[in-house]
Amino acid sequence: MARVAVQADPFDPGAELARLLAGRTDIGGIGCFIGTVRDTAEGRRLAALTLEHYPGMTERAIAAIAAEAERRWDLAGCTVIHRFGRLTPGAPIVLVLAAAAHRAPALAATSFLIDWLKTRAPFWKQEEWEDGATAWVAAKEADDAAAASWDQTSPGFTAG
């Protein structure tokens, strides 16, 4: 059963690793991805990113993505923590951990989890520039392609 959290507060990767390993001696490796706020986007200096999400659906969507990872790979456990609210450059946004007996499933599941999170969890990023102007981030085709590379169609639809 995956650990899923959606929160404004920072997370503690060390504590989360310890939590995943607690009482387990069958784990051979843990894949880890931490997404952080970069200080530039499209060549401009970024002051902050504000993440909006859909409370309720977000937790359900992440739990479904984690369940899919657990269906595809033999995992000893996984953790997904995603933050929302206003985050400044350098701040961690998302933590993905996937534990398994061997490195291949641990690393593959970690990569899968972040690729699907980017295209299937209801979060929206708004960039705030140093001059105070703001703009919603557009979805990237590269992210859709990365998610699609795991062999499933993307969710959502084109309404027009």
Partner 1 sequence: MTETAPLTIRYFAWLRERVGLAEEQLRPPAEITTVATLIPWLAGRDAAHAHAFAARATIRCAVNQEFATPQDRVSPGDEIAFFPPVTGG
Residues lying near partner 1 in the complex (CB under 8 A) are found at 35, 51-54, 56-57, 60, 82, 93-94, 114, 117-126, 136-140, 143, 155-160
Identify which of residues 29 and 122 has a Cβ nearer to partner 1 in the complex.
Answer: 122
To the nearest whole angstrom, how small is the minimum distance from the Cβ of residue 100 to partner 1?
21
Identify which of residues 133 and 139 has a Cβ nearer to partner 1 in the complex.
Answer: 139
To the nearest whole angstrom, how small is the minimum distance from the Cβ of residue 157 to partner 1?
5
To the nearest whole angstrom, how small is the minimum distance from the Cβ of residue 123 to partner 1?
3
Reported for 114-118, long-range contacts at CB under 8 A and 24+ positions apart, including other chains, are: 114/33, 114/35, 115/143, 115/146, 115/147, 115/149, 115/150, 116/65, 116/68, 116/69, 116/147, 116/150, 117/62, 117/65, 117/80, 117/82, 118/143, 118/146, 118/147
